[in-house]
Structure 1
Amino acid sequence: MSAAPLAAALARWAAHTPHRPALEHESGAVTWEQLNARVTRARARYRTAGDRVPGRRVGILGRNHPDTVVALLAVAANGAEPLLYDARATAHERGQVAALAGATTWHTPAGEPAPTPAGPPVTASAVPVAPGPASPVSFGHAPAGQQPPARYFGLVTSGTGGLPKVVRKPWDATLTNAAAFAEAAGYRADDRILCTTPLHHAYAFGVALLPALLTGATLVLAPHPATPAALAAALRRSDATVVQSVPFLYRSLLAVGEPPTAPAPRVCVSAGEPLPAQLARDWLKAAGVPLRDQYGCTEFGQIAYTVGDPGGPMRLMPGVEARLRTEDGSWAVHDPDASGELYLRHDGGPVIYWGLPDLSRTSHIDGWFRTGDTGRLPTPRTVVVEGRTTRRISVAGRKVDPDEVERAVLAAPGVTECRVAAPPEGTEGHGDLFVAFLAVEPGVTETEVRRHVARTLSSYKVPTRFDLRDTLPRTGSGKVHLARLWGELSA
């Protein structure tokens, strides 16, 4: 199978609801008829650019804009494998991702050309759509001389050792998963889905973009990144019936005193980081609608969806299986009293990382994928997530790998040691900031280090604070004494 069901849905909405908005953005609205026409024209433009080799991997530097959606659909329809990545990524980050995925071209929809590791960049600007009916786009059966639609696409997630990971995503399993989530959450064709997180992240991709395309709902793209005030304004203007966001942004809306009022949304989905029970209670009181917790990851998409209170059991999505690996190395499928590391498998087959065959192999045990999360399985089809086994940091719903940040900091002139960490859970600032503790040579300033890191990493990966010292304190076993560092920082 391939991306055929997605394009079939696009053709269906263009034929039956041509004048209904498919996408809305601060730049204007795009109807289903117009979206279909733009994809048709973009396909021809990309074929001229050479994106017609089956299986060729083509990078798309995306942002929350209709043209990113057009580029994604057009590249997949031409038979290439789209690689969706952050338009704000640095040249260094783009080079790493392109090398892993084997991508030779970057498209920058409606933007300036971005440097590409191999070959000249191609800019795919929006093409004005003439009035009148559009020809349906068909992904299912390619006409003579055209390539069949792509079977795979790529999404980028944080990696270890300073490298990102590019996950190979099968279209068929991904679309099935998105449709199952839309049904579980109760999405409808007349919904208006407010997307507040980046489209190139698996969360927005699977909870907002794909469900909207599959159900015929209107996808409202909030500007990103957005201040709390800007987000509140977008929420007021959107008339959203579904909101997709992260705890950090829900908390920000409450802080500025503008939770959704009449007409209130029917569904509010939260993911990207654990949903605090107090935040869920505050939101329900202020907005009159519950926050629904969602558990997912780039490798699997939507894994589970809440069936009750935050922190309680979540129901596994159809096609996803879970089991625990306990401390003694044994497996547990259903034991209410057992806890351990969560392992998953799904109908899409084993997880594959482009360019990292060893990691693809070692991420599995007996065919089960290691999530790095700890939890319980109260029943065979429900899961409770309790924590992480790794050091990854969640900052406003975006994942930051401390190893990657530490490597960037250590590359700055005059830095001799570095340890990156988030405030301990339960303390002020947890979930909103993280700090780089570093030992430096005399004369090195925070400004110099910050500028160096900002040239290498995206802005959200730059530590909120740099704490410069002569040396870093150590424990008796030689490890960096984080508890002491945090204590001295807050003193």
Structure 2
Amino acid sequence: MSAVVRHDTLPGLLAARAAATPVRPAVEHRGTTVTWAGLADRVQRARARLRRGGQTPGARLGILARNDPDTLVALLAATAEGREAVLYDGRATAAERDQVAALAGLTGWHTPSPADHADGPVGAEAPASGGPAPAPHLGLVTSGTGGLPKVVRKRWHTALTNAADFATLAGYREGDRLLCTTPVHHAYAFGVAVLPALVTGCTLVLAPHPAAPMALARLLRDSRATVVQSVPFLYRAVLDSGEPPAPSALRICVSAGEPLPGALAEDWHAATGVPLRDQYGSTEFGQIAYTTGAPGGPLRLLPGVTARLRAADGTWLAAPGPDVSGELHLRQAGAGPVTYWGLPELTTASLADGWFRTGDTGRLPSPEHVVVEGRTTRRISVAGRKVDPDEVQRAVLRVPGVRECWVAAPPEGSAGHGDRFAAFVAVEEGVTESGLRRHVARALSSYKVPTRFHLREALPRTGTGKVHAARLWQEAVRTRGQEDAP
């Protein structure tokens, strides 16, 4: 049974959940269970502590997030007390924290802990009128492809509506056990796990982060999860861990963060009996589209999200048709323009005639569906001709013995920048660079074949499971010299 509750505010949602299902588990983490009533009580105590701390409503509070209940309590309490919370990685370095704090206008960071809601006087509830109003905005941090942080200002009402729409489209239910495997401060986990748990009332199971694949495979089984959100890299790692998930109560598996390989979707379905569904989203928009059909097919746009295409010359494609590609631009009902705290020039550059520039290329088979093809910003120029790294990656991944692949040009200004690009490939024993080159040359034009193939056992990953491109290039410098790396 679907039990999506729509509410304008996070505190309103929590109050509704605590009243309707007080003893149902709200959050589980490392063997600890917090009920909906218990979560509401912790938030009240944390609110009282915030009031005693003297911060005024409207102030921005930086929260160093971890995958634990204390982070959720801190977020709910700050929002209820009128603070505009900015979620950021609790493992970030001091320099990284300082950079984000400067952009968001923060005076400091708060590390959530049990002390936030320790036993003590709760204090008087804020009155219905004249007291602190729930914060209308929050900040989520994204690094994007350039690696520099950006703090996206989001409206709570829009984020909650988007989460409710996604939960309805994906088929979340009140009795679900939702396993969150990626960091809660990232938009993917935030919009596909944290907020949907609140709007549906299901149990949010927080996986420790980072988690080893074998530990994650066991958690997938032992948590009795019915819904899981993760990234392609972790789904593949679970299958390869030696403890693949056995058929169970699992019924919804959501994948995002990078393109979902068709072979992975097939292998996952064969191992679990559950389809692996592709989700397309961004920090700026939350959930944009979701596949309800076969892997590799069109994704259905969420309610309120409208897409259109723009050609390379800047003209709008009025009626593009299913076979015409262009840069995807989006609008979201009620969201207002995308805003980056501390970067007004980026806010301006991100819009074209009021439409948000995603930086992705794609097609629009119908007004309700989108096919995402790749990134415009990652296009590589080779002798004046454009190469799509995603096309090359797909060709490399079809070679027997290849597990992972990342294709990119050396960073601008480096010694190898120009008509060169490399493929970083995780391979099984016996795969050679010359063999890879022959396979790819049979599938692609000669100018699309990478200048160099760097063979590895595995590709380094960020906290969200994306390929750590900067580390790859740094390692290329140490191992292969300056020929094709900065």
Band the TM-score falls in, shorter-chain normalisation: 0.7 to 0.9
**Match 1:24 to one of 10, 28, 45:** 28
The offset of 1:143, in angstroms, is 3.1
**Match 1:229 to one of 204, 210, 214:** 214
The offset of 1:3, in angstroms, is 7.8
> What is the correspondence of 1:111-150 to structure 2 with a 5 Å cutoff?
125-128=115-118, 143-150=128-135
* Residues 281 and 459 (structure 1), Cα distance of their counterparts in 2 relative to 1, 3 Å cut: closer
Partner of 2:352: 365
The offset of 1:338, in angstroms, is 1.0
* Residues 21 and 326 (structure 1), Cα distance of their counterparts in 2 relative to 1, 3 Å cut: same
Measure the CA separation in 2 of the matches of 1:182 and 1:360: 29
Measure the CA separation in 1 of the matches of 2:470 and 2:125: 42
* Residues 166 and 95 (structure 1), Cα distance of their counterparts in 2 relative to 1, 3 Å cut: same
* Residues 281 and 470 (structure 1), Cα distance of their counterparts in 2 relative to 1, 3 Å cut: closer
Q: Return the TM-score normalized by structure 1.
A: 0.77
Please list every run of at least 4 consecutive aligned residues from structure 1 whose deviation after the TM superposition is greater than 4 angstroms.
134-138, 159-162, 416-419, 458-462
Measure the CA separation in 1 of the matches of 2:54 and 2:12: 24
Contact 1:21-1:29 at 8 Å conserved across structures:
yes
Contact 2:45-2:116 at 8 Å conserved across structures:
no
The offset of 1:460, in angstroms, is 5.8
The offset of 1:236, in angstroms, is 1.5
* Residues 5 and 53 (structure 1), Cα distance of their counterparts in 2 relative to 1, 3 Å cut: closer
Measure the CA separation in 1 of the matches of 2:75 and 2:378: 32
Contact 2:9-2:134 at 8 Å conserved across structures:
no
Code of the aligned partner of 1:170: R
Partner of 1:107: 110
Contact 1:311-1:385 at 8 Å conserved across structures:
no
Measure the CA separation in 1 of the matches of 2:195 and 2:169: 14
Contact 2:66-2:183 at 8 Å conserved across structures:
yes
Query: Alignment RMSD, CA only?
Result: 3.3
Give per-residue Cα distances to partners, 1:371-427, cap 9 Å, x unaligned. Answer: 111110000110000111124999xxxxx9x99x979xx9xxxxx8687x99638x4
Question: What is the identity percentage for the equivalent residue pairs of Structure 1 and Structure 2?
Answer: 59
Measure the CA separation in 2 of the matches of 1:290 and 1:161: 33
Partner of 1:114: none
**Match 2:45 to one of 41, 44, 49:** 41
Measure the CA separation in 2 of the matches of 1:214 and 1:170: 16
Q: Gapped runs of 5+ residues in structure 2? A: 1-5, 380-388, 391-405, 429-461
> What is the correspondence of 1:131-210 to structure 2 with a 5 Å cutoff?
143-159=128-144, 163-210=148-195
The offset of 1:461, in angstroms, is 7.2
> What is the correspondence of 1:420-459 to structure 2 with a 5 Å cutoff?
424=423, 427-428=425-426
Measure the CA separation in 2 of the matches of 1:125 and 1:302: 34
* Residues 233 and 343 (structure 1), Cα distance of their counterparts in 2 relative to 1, 3 Å cut: same
SS in 2 for 1:35: helix
* Residues 336 and 20 (structure 1), Cα distance of their counterparts in 2 relative to 1, 3 Å cut: same
Contact 1:333-1:380 at 8 Å conserved across structures:
no
Give per-residue Cα distances to partners, 1:71-108, cap 9 Å, x unaligned. Answer: 00100111110000000001111011000010113110
* Residues 69 and 204 (structure 1), Cα distance of their counterparts in 2 relative to 1, 3 Å cut: same
1:217 aligns with 2:217: no
**Which has the larger displacement, 260-269 or 239-248?**
260-269
Code of the aligned partner of 1:9: L
* Residues 40 and 254 (structure 1), Cα distance of their counterparts in 2 relative to 1, 3 Å cut: same
* Residues 161 and 312 (structure 1), Cα distance of their counterparts in 2 relative to 1, 3 Å cut: closer
Measure the CA separation in 2 of the matches of 1:181 and 1:137: 33
The offset of 1:362, in angstroms, is 1.1
Partner of 2:56: 52
* Residues 243 and 317 (structure 1), Cα distance of their counterparts in 2 relative to 1, 3 Å cut: same
1:472 aligns with 2:475: no
The offset of 1:290, in angstroms, is 0.3
SS in 1 for 2:263: helix
SS in 2 for 1:275: coil
Partner of 2:264: 279
Measure the CA separation in 2 of the matches of 1:472 and 1:371: 33
The offset of 1:125, in angstroms, is 2.8
Code of the aligned partner of 1:97: V
Q: Return the TM-score normalized by structure 2.
A: 0.78
Give per-residue Cα distances to partners, 1:233-253, cap 9 Å, x unaligned. Answer: 211111000011010010011
Contact 1:14-1:136 at 8 Å conserved across structures:
no
Partner of 1:341: 327
The offset of 1:345, in angstroms, is 1.0
